[in-house]
């Protein structure tokens, strides 16, 4: 296939995809603008668009007319939700179809083309008529796209509940029953607002948050905290766009937090979702009980967080158990580990080298097989020197703690709270204060308590794993990795000596390759 043919094929596919979104009724303003530009600037795109709209609109109009005739009605039935917002397949199909005048005109042009080709002696007029058809159809295509842009501003969601809401901009306040349109922002300073989308998804916004409505099946969270439910079949596919990724609901309930700097957190509590990122990202699927976070930036760092089976086998849904095959394991003789700020607990902790011994703790309360921050300290910094600059592909950390004697329900030493930094030079820069001020690169922030959304101590998973990776399977090129470990946020309810201590880390695994 020639390059020209390949290019035409790509244009055809893009036009068909955009036109199909138009017919489904979920075309975003950006998609509509892209289709308008394609049709106006490229004759091939205009030709593909006319062909697609002729075929699709003609068939859809014929099917609807026949269905209406069978019911003895002049138009499809329309279901509405409170406030008059269309709801249901019939209404969605009616909204998704092209305007009757447009589809009728396309049908007429098609009939005219076939008629001109079939009449005896009319062959000399075929090409002039075809040219006229193309010109008129191109103009109609532009008109149709303008109509799509107009329809894209129709109400696509509705505010159905509000509790103690205070809007950031008082003049832009909305009330229960207000219909919401694409491009409209829910700028909530405080309180809780519930939004029902036309496709059936229900989103709860908690202030302070800013949520932008994009379509009847899509919204963008700019900052804040939201929960989403897509319990009906029609609502499946609802998409919540975040600063660094998109969450596609596959029939579930999930919770998301987005910080002002683009750092986002996702917690799936029922069903499953798909995570989509940039072109180098691998689509990931999360199920109930799994959580994730996304760091801003081109590297697309992604952290999976999972609870284990609470056994010495260390089984997790997708994260591998502690390993002695990773690049940093002591048996590989590449890496060295040390505490460079703060110290571990001398009474209730093993040496820091336990983190590179290729195995996790043998049971749920093994302080001497763990690395635990000294009681009373706010933080501790642990440095791993990989020996040379290598391509770090993945970093896993593991923890396990559950009191099995007097306080069997407590898991206050299981949560992981740390920030991971990297540096590629021959010697590490200072680590005091904020490491980024000394040249360290912040790779990822982790707080498993936030992800599992479990304020009660009893609900914390006793066994936890975090797996940090990047877009395209690369975290970055580093020689030094620095963990800034923070104390657990649990209340001071443990026996003396455990109070205000940190996570019982059992293993750090660093997967890497030596590349020039």
Q: Say if strands 239-241 and 218-229 run parallel, antiparallel, or are unpaired.
A: parallel
**Per-residue pLDDT tens digits for 289-341:** 788 888 887 778 889 988 899 999 999 988 999 999 999 999 999 999 999 99
Q: Are 87 and 81 in contact (CB under 8 A)?
A: yes
Is residue 100 over pLDDT 90? no
- 3-state SS assignment for residue 341: strand
What whole-number distance in Å separates Cα of residue 415 and Cα of residue 237?
32
Tokens representing 450 are 């936030």
Contacts of 477 (CB under 8 A, 6+ apart): 389, 390, 391, 392, 424
Query: Which candidate, 129, 148, 143, 151, places its Cα nearest to that of 46?
Result: 143
- 417-423 and 291-294 strand pairing: unpaired
CB atoms within 10 A of CB 25: 24
Whole-angstrom distance, CA of residue 410 vs CA of residue 412: 6
CA 431 to CA 439: how far, in whole Å?
A: 9
- CA–CA separation, 273 and 239 (whole Å): 10
Of the listed ranges 26-40, 318-332, 433-447, 477-491, the least confidently predicted one is 26-40
Cβ proximity of 158 and 178 under 8 Å: yes
Domain edges within the chain:
3-151, 157-275, 302-513
CATH architecture of 302-513: Sandwich (2.60)
pTM, 2 dp: 0.65
Confidence of residue 453 (pLDDT cuts 50, 70, 90): low
The answer for residues whose C-beta is within 8 angstroms of residue 380's C-beta and 6 or more apart is 339, 341, 342, 343, 344, 373, 374, 485, 502
What is the biggest distance separating any 2 CA atoms in the chain, rounded to whole angstroms?
103
Closest CA to 64 of 95, 86, 36, 43: 95
C-alpha gyration radius of the chain: 29
- For residues 87 and 201, is the Cβ–Cβ distance under 8 A? no
Pairwise CA distance, residues 432 & 309, whole Å: 37
- Distance separating alpha carbons of residues 109 and 498, to the nearest angstrom: 81
pLDDT digit string (tens) for 123-177? Answer: 333 334 444 444 445 555 554 554 444 445 578 999 999 999 998 876 466 889 9
CA distance 422 to 442: 7
* Weakest mean pLDDT among 173-182, 284-293, 407-416: 407-416
- What pLDDT is stored for residue 506 in this prediction? 96
Highest mean predicted confidence (pLDDT) among 79-93, 103-117, 193-207: 193-207
| Residue of 297 and 189 predicted with greater confidence | 189
CATH fold of 157-275 reads Jelly Rolls (2.60.120)
Query: Do 157-275 and 302-513 come out as alike in CATH topology?
Result: yes
Q: Which of 256, 326, 351, 343 is nearest to 468 (CA)?
A: 326
């Amino acid at each position: 296939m020639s390059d020209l043919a390949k290019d035409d094929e790509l244009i055809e596919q893009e036009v068909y995809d955009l036109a199909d979104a138009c017919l489904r009724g979920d075309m975003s303003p950006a998609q509509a603008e892209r289709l308008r530009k394609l049709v106006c600037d490229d004759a091939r795109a205009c030709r593909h668009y006319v062909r697609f709209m002729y075929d699709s609109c003609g068939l859809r109009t014929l099917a609807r007319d026949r269905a209406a005739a069978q019911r003895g009605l002049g138009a499809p039935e329309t279901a509405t939700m409170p406030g008059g917002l269309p709801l249901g397949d019939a209404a969605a199909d009616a909204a998704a179809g092209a305007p009757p005048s447009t589809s009728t005109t396309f049908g007429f042009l098609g009939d005219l083309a076939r008629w001109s080709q079939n009449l005896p002696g009319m062959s000399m007029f075929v090409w002039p008529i075809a040219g006229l058809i193309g010109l008129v159809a191109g103009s109609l295509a532009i008109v149709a796209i303008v109509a799509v842009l107009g329809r894209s501003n129709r109400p696509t969601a509705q505010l159905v509940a509000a509790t103690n809401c205070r809007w950031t901009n008082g003049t832009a306040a909305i009330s229960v029953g207000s219909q919401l349109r694409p491009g409209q922002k829910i700028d909530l300073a405080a309180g809780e607002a519930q939004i029902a989308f036309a496709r059936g998804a229900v989103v709860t916004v908690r202030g302070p948050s800013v949520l932008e409505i994009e379509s009847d099946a899509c919204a963008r969270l700019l900052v804040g905290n939201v929960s989403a439910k897509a319990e009906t079949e029609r609502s499946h596919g609802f998409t919540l766009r975040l600063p660094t990724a998109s969450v596609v609901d596959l029939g579930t309930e999930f919770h998301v937090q987005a910080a002002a700097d683009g750092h986002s957190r996702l917690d799936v509590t029922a069903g499953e979702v798909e995570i989509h990122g940039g072109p180098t990202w691998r689509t990931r699927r999360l199920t109930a009980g799994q959580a994730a976070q996304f760091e801003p930036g081109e590297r697309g760092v992604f952290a999976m967080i999972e609870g284990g089976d609470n056994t010495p086998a260390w089984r997790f849904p997708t994260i591998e158990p502690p390993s002695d095959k990773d690049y940093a394991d002591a048996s590989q003789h590449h890496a060295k580990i040390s505490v460079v700020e703060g110290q571990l607990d001398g009474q209730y902790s093993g040496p820091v080298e336990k983190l590179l011994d290729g195995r996790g703790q043998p049971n749920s309360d093994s302080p001497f097989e763990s690395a635990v921050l000294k009681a009373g300290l706010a933080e501790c910094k642990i440095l791993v020197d990989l020996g040379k600059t290598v391509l770090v592909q993945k970093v896993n950390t593991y923890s396990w703690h559950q009191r099995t004697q007097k306080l069997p329900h407590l898991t206050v030493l299981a949560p992981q709270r740390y920030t991971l930094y990297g540096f590629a030079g021959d010697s590490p820069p200072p680590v005091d204060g904020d490491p980024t001020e000394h040249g360290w690169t912040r790779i990822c922030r982790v707080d498993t308590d936030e992800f599992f959304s479990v304020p009660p101590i009893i609900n914390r998973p006793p066994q936890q794993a975090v797996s940090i990776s990047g877009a395209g399977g690369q975290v970055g090129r580093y020689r030094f990795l620095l963990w800034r470990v923070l104390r657990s946020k649990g209340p001071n309810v443990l026996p003396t000596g455990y109070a205000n201590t940190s996570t019982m880390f059992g293993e750090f695994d660093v997967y890497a390759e030596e590349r020039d």
